[in-house]
Amino acid sequence: MIALTDDRGRLVWISAVRPGGTSEITACRHDKPTAHLRAAGLGAIANLGFVGLDDGPPDADPPVICGYKGARNRPLTRGQKLSNKALAAVRASVEHGFAHLKNWRVLTKVRTDPKWATALVRALLMLANREVMR
C-alpha cells in the first residue's frame, strides 16, 4: 500500500492494498497518485524508491521530488549529497505519520483478501489520525 501524509506527518490518503509483495513504484503506477497530485496542484517528496515515477509532460513541474541515487561508477557530487540531505530533513516529520500507522501491529499479520485488508487499513488510518489529534 502507498500512503501520503501532509507536512506535519498526518496521514491523508492510503491506497488500496495490493496482493503479494508489490513494490512501491509498481503500486504507484497502478493507483496513479501523480495524476491526482498534478490535478490538485500539489507535490510530494518521496524516498529513493520512487525515482523515475513521474509520468507527466517533460515541461511540467514534477509532482514527486526524489533524491539522487549514486552508483559504483558514478558517485554523487557534493551538490547532490546536499540535496539528499535537505530532502531527508523535510521527510523526517513525514515519517512520523508512517510510524503511527506501523504502531498498529495487526498489519504485520494480515493474511486476508486485499479488499478486506484495504478496509482495515483505511479504518486504521482514521484511528491513527484521531489518536494523533488528541
- For 16-48, the pLDDT digits (tens) are 777 777 777 777 777 777 777 777 777 788 888
pTM value? Answer: 0.66
**4 phi and psi, to 5 degrees?**
-115, 140
| Distance separating alpha carbons of residues 6 and 89, to the nearest angstrom | 15
pLDDT at 11 over 80: no
Q: What is the mean pLDDT of the chain?
A: 76
Whole domain around residue 89: which residue ranges? 3-133
Bridge partners (DSSP) listed for residue 64: 44
**In this predicted structure, what is the pLDDT of residue 23?**
75
Place of cell 509532460: 57
Place of cell 495490493: 18
Q: In total, how many domains does the chain have?
A: 1
